[in-house]
Amino acid sequence: MSAVPMPRPEAGDEPLVAVRNLQVAFGKGPRPVKAVNGVDLNVARGETVALIGESGSGKSVTLRALLRLHAPRTTRIEGSVKVAGHDVLSLGTRALADYRGKVASMIFQEPLLALDPVYTVGAQIIESIRRHEPVSEGDARRRALELFERVRIPSPERRLDAYPHEMSGGMRQRAMIALALACRPQLLLADEPTTALDATVQIQILLLLRELQRELGLGIVFVTHDIGAAVEVADRFAVMYAGRIVEEGPVRTVVRTPRHPYTLALLRGRAGGQTMARGTRLLTIAGSPPDLANLPAGCAFAERCSFAQDGCRIAPPEPVTIAPDHVVRCLRTDATARVA
């Protein structure tokens, strides 16, 4: 069994992932839902970038656009997405199938739904390997066993013949990671991979991802609303709100000196991020995210922002470079600097 060769990547020193002005809208009527609105994002080889923000901020939509998983009949995608030199948005059907799994692969949020319930986990990994590489079933099974050992699944040979429902949540997530790594991708997309797991297993999965990233040189885009989890695995934060990246920078910089009011509010809303007496209420962000089918003319966060001025409601703010590697979309970085 052999796959059609992928088109050769473009030459140059470009980052592993280069996203430019990505826009994703759902619906063909007069009021499409604009889930992603002009995202620019780079991911270097061997780097982990965490997309953080509230539910509905566009994190998972952005991630799935990197694999073109959105239904084409109901989705409009514009902009440029290049991964390992491949122009993702222009790939044909067969080239796209070759790209998925071999160049970029995904760890889905709920493996019980992502894995096929009528096939053993081992059979699904073997099928993925043989789809992309001309190897025998025996060789593919041996690689699947090695992957199970690498992600530390106990009794790996027996678990290869288990069905998804016969595994625990943590074990299924490890099997999903093994499946994602089966064809040696260059980019790993992790869509809230620890959400459904208890705290102990969450830490194990996060440490495993970090270890695999260092060992294999993977680029990782890690989607989460859990800032604590993101701090454990990420090199860089990209904070999303209403489909835009509003702040981006190294993890240490963003956590210690947040300059966008939304980032500041997210950090203050963490139980671990505040020095507070027992019984004190957590700080929350007032109001609700905007209607993505009717976005405001100005900054989407203005109605919830305590620093907002009239100018914030006129047009979306342009990027402000705080430092060479720290960029914020806000007109009030002067005010946030005084309280961060």
For the residues of 104-162, what is the DSSP string, one character each? EEEE-S-HHHHS-TTS-HHHHHHHHHHHHS---HHHHHHHHHHHHHHTT-SSHHHHTT-
Domains of the chain: 17-103+185-339 (3.40.50.300), 115-183 (no CATH)
pLDDT value of position 242: 95
SS3 state of residue 271: helix
End-to-end CA distance of the chain: 57
Q: How many CB atoms lie within 10 A of CB 85?
A: 17
**Would you say how long the chain is, in residues?**
340
Q: How far is CA 62 from CA 65, 70, 86, 133, in A?
A: 5, 10, 17, 28
In angstroms and rounded to an integer, the radius of gyration of the C-alpha atoms of the chain is: 21
pLDDT value of position 109: 84
pLDDT value of position 301: 95
pLDDT value of position 223: 94
Helices (H), the chain: 59-65, 93-102, 111-114, 121-132, 137-150, 156-159, 169-181, 199-216, 227-233, 251-256, 261-268, 333-339
pLDDT value of position 340: 63
pLDDT value of position 195: 74
pLDDT value of position 280: 67
Q: Do residues 49 and 234 make contact, with C-beta atoms less than 8 angstroms apart?
A: yes
pTM of the model: 0.89
**CA-to-CA distance for 319 and 179, rounded, in angstroms?**
38
pLDDT value of position 277: 57
- Residues paired with residue 222 on neighbouring β-strands, in sequence order: 50, 190
**CA-to-CA distance for 319 and 208, rounded, in angstroms?**
35
**CA-to-CA distance for 185 and 169, rounded, in angstroms?**
24
| Pairing status of strand 86-87 against strand 104-107 | unpaired
> Per-block average pLDDT, block size 10, for the chain (340 residues)?
40 81 91 94 95 93 96 94 96 96 92 92 96 95 94 93 94 92 94 80 85 90 88 93 96 94 88 56 82 93 92 93 93 81
pLDDT value of position 279: 64
Whose tokens are 């440490």? That residue is 207
pLDDT value of position 1: 36
